[in-house]
Amino acid sequence: MRRTTTNINTTNINTTRLAMRVRFLIALLVFSTAASAQATQTLIINADQGRDTISRHIYGHFAEHLGRGIYDGIWMKKSDGSWQIRDDVVQALRAIKIPNVRWPGGCFADYYHWKDGIGDKARRPTLVNNNWGGVTEDNAVGTHEFLDLTQKLGTEPFVVGNLGSGTVQEMSEWWEYINQPGGSPMAKQRAANGHPEPWNVRFWGVGNESWGCGGNMRPEYYADEFKRYAGFLPGYGRVRPFRIATGPSDDNYNWTEVMMRDAGRMIDGLDLHHYMLTGTWAQKGNATQFGEAEWAELLQKATQFDALIARHSTIMDRYDPQKRVWLVVGEWGTWHQGEPGSNPSFLYQQNSLRDALVAAVSLNTFNQHADRVKMANIAQTVNVLQAMILTQGDKLLMTPTYHVYEMYTVHHDAVMLPMTLDAGRYTFGDRTMPAVSGSASRDASGKIHITLTNLDPNQPRTINASVRGHAVSSVTGRVLTSDRMTTFNSFEAPNAIHPVAFSGAKLTGNALSITLPPKSVVVLELR
């Protein structure tokens, strides 16, 4: 009996010890997980190793004849039925130092015949926009009107010529009309239409999406067409054409390979297009009604932009090791369902904090690839897709993406500074991605700017940063964030989200401690 009792007591003791050990291991696991979630990350900025310049043209824009982008967007109809450029739109775009505007498309470009949009407006023929809703427009906005806009904005035009349904002669004459100094038939016609001086436009797209809506071509066929059309764009005076070829869609690496192999010597820029969305193309996600699953899906796609650009760049490097040819990201951004009640062909969508983070991550990526990516054009400027500005009658609001572009003006034409970033990981379900995105630059006055984005919508991220090769005496910053990941600016609440002063950075010597709020974009200035 005693022996039996002793065995029973020993078993109980062993069981108790096992239970205690299991509880200890569980507690240790919970503690480790919590510690990991709040782990301090590191950032090293090599301020003395900057080499490549971040081209301001990375921060370019796109204005297509689509929906309410041109008409009832940048242009407003007056009481007499004519159209005028909106001064408030011009002022807002000038504030973000808009460097270039791509026009007239997009798919619209390969249906557009430029001679329909010059001369007496009362005599211009109407046009049915077969790509975007079958809308009839009166060609009130044409070459003169668009180039007047770019002059008001103080920006460079990026004109896309019609290769899909046009002719070599048509494109060559348009180039002549815009740039020939005088004496030629097209220059005389330009003068007769009220503009004796040439506009000196250099950025010229030879077709758009020639693999799709611009002609459904094979890359081998388009390469030959590109060379034929580009050969009829002569230099005029001090203007030489910067010839931008249709580049690949997304991960069509074969297109890049063929174009660089067969036409690379005549190409100045290769135009990559890449859109990001949740769901499927047939059933896209909602712009403002989403949960963390859709948040993670879209932000993961933004982080994958880096690998996409790296692979296309690697192919280009084989044919162009001097990196003469620009990788132009001519169309990019988020694509959601249209807003309820809007024409679905008009691609009018709202723009939330989530879109702002996609923009910040993408721009950081472009900055990091400054040796090859020299131009990019977000789609689009006003009232279409991931717009900077939304209008409603005479009202106007700036979207969260607009505010990112304003914050990132500090990188325009600044020297990209190499950085080593322990980005950490943000995981939701089976999706995992870098938790932090960043880029850094030094401007002409010697100030260093760092842009950082915390993709984690739940946890702050603390970063211990050091700046090598540059003495730092002060740090200031601003932050764009909100309590809700779905926050957006509406006409009822146009300032629901906007940048505010950031106090989460502390400087000790050349060491910097930065606490990024969840779901935030931060810009820091170091002096």
Output the DSSP codes for 332-354. EEE--PPPTTS-GGG-----BHH
pLDDT of residue 38: 54
Select from 516, 520, 512, 488 the least CA-distant residue to 504.
516
| 486, burial (CB in 10 Å: exposed 0-12, middle 13-18, buried 19+) | middle
Smallest CA-to-CA distance from 173 within 105, 131, 233 is with 233
For residue 305 the two structure tokens come to 């932009």
Two tokens, residue 328:
């132009």
* Assigned token pair, 290: 């989403």
β-pair partners for 206: 161, 245
pLDDT, tens digit (0-9, with 9 covering 90-100), for 434-478: 999 999 999 999 999 999 999 999 999 999 999 999 999 999 999
Rounded CA-CA distance 77/277 in Å is 33
Asked if 344 and 338 count as a contact pair (C-beta separation under 8 A), the reply is: yes
**Predicted model pTM:** 0.92
Q: How far is CA 49 from CA 161, 275, 493, in A?
A: 40, 33, 44
Rounded Cα gap, residues 246 and 206, in angstroms:
7
Dump strand ranges (E) for 154-241.
156-161, 203-206
Note the pLDDT of residue 388. Answer: 98
CA distances from 337 to 27, 131, 166, 276, 300 (A): 45, 17, 32, 12, 19
CA pair distance 338, 68, nearest whole angstrom: 13
Q: Which of 447, 260, 469, 221 lies closest to 372, judged by CA?
A: 260
How far, in Å, are 21, 23, 51 from residue 9 at the CA level? Answer: 18, 21, 74
Residue 247 has, within 13 A of its CA and on its CB side, a CA count of: 30
Give backbone dihedrals phi and psi of 82, rounded to 5 degrees, phi first: -85, 170
Residue 6's pLDDT is 34
Query: Cα separation of 309 and 326, whole Å?
Result: 12
> Could you tell me where the beta strands, DSSP code E, fall in 351-483?
373-379, 389-392, 395-398, 415-416, 419-421, 425-428, 431-434, 436-442, 448-454, 461-468, 475-480
Just list the catalytic residues. Answer: 209, 331
| Domains within the chain, CATH numbers bracketed | 34-50+417-526 (2.60.40.1180), 56-414 (3.20.20.80)
The residues facing 245 across adjacent strands are 206, 270
- Helices (H), strands (E): how many in the chain? 11, 27
Q: What is the pLDDT of residue 49?
A: 94
| Contact (Cβ atoms closer than 8 angstroms) between residue 46 and residue 419 | yes
Contact 403, 498 (CB under 8 A): yes
pLDDT value of residue 211: 98
Q: Is 446 left (phi over 0), alpha (psi -120 to 50) or beta?
A: left
* Residue from 362, 416, 412 nearest 98 by CA: 412
CB proximity list for 280: less than 8 A, separation 6 or greater: none
Helix (H) or strand (E) holding 254: helix 253-263
Look-up of token digits 């010890």: 17
Q: Cβ(268)–Cβ(243) under 8 Å?
A: yes
* pLDDT (tens digit per residue) in 169-191: 999 999 999 999 999 999 999 99
User: Which residue, among 491, 487, 238, has the nearest Cα to 383 in the 3D structure?
Assistant: 491
443-469 per-residue burial string, b: 16 or more CB within 10 A, e: under 16: beeeebbbbbbbbbbebebebebebee
Q: Tell me, what's the pLDDT at 39?
A: 58
Nearest Cα neighbor of 294 from 277, 306, 308, 274 is 277
SS (H, E, C) 48-63: CCCCCECCHHHHEEEC
The whole-angstrom separation of Cα 381 and Cα 131 is 19
Tokens matching residue 49: 């190793």
Residue whose C-alpha is closest to residue 479's, from 496, 456, 502, 449 = 502
Task: To the nearest 10°, report the CA torsion of 168, 126, 63, 188.
Answer: 50
| CB contact burial 111-145 (16+ within 10 A = b; e otherwise) | bbebbebbbebeebeebebebbeebeebbbbbbbb
pLDDT of residue 40: 80
Task: Kindly give the parts of the chain with pLDDT less than 50.
Answer: 1-37
Contact 326, 269 (CB under 8 A): yes
pLDDT of the residue at 19: 46
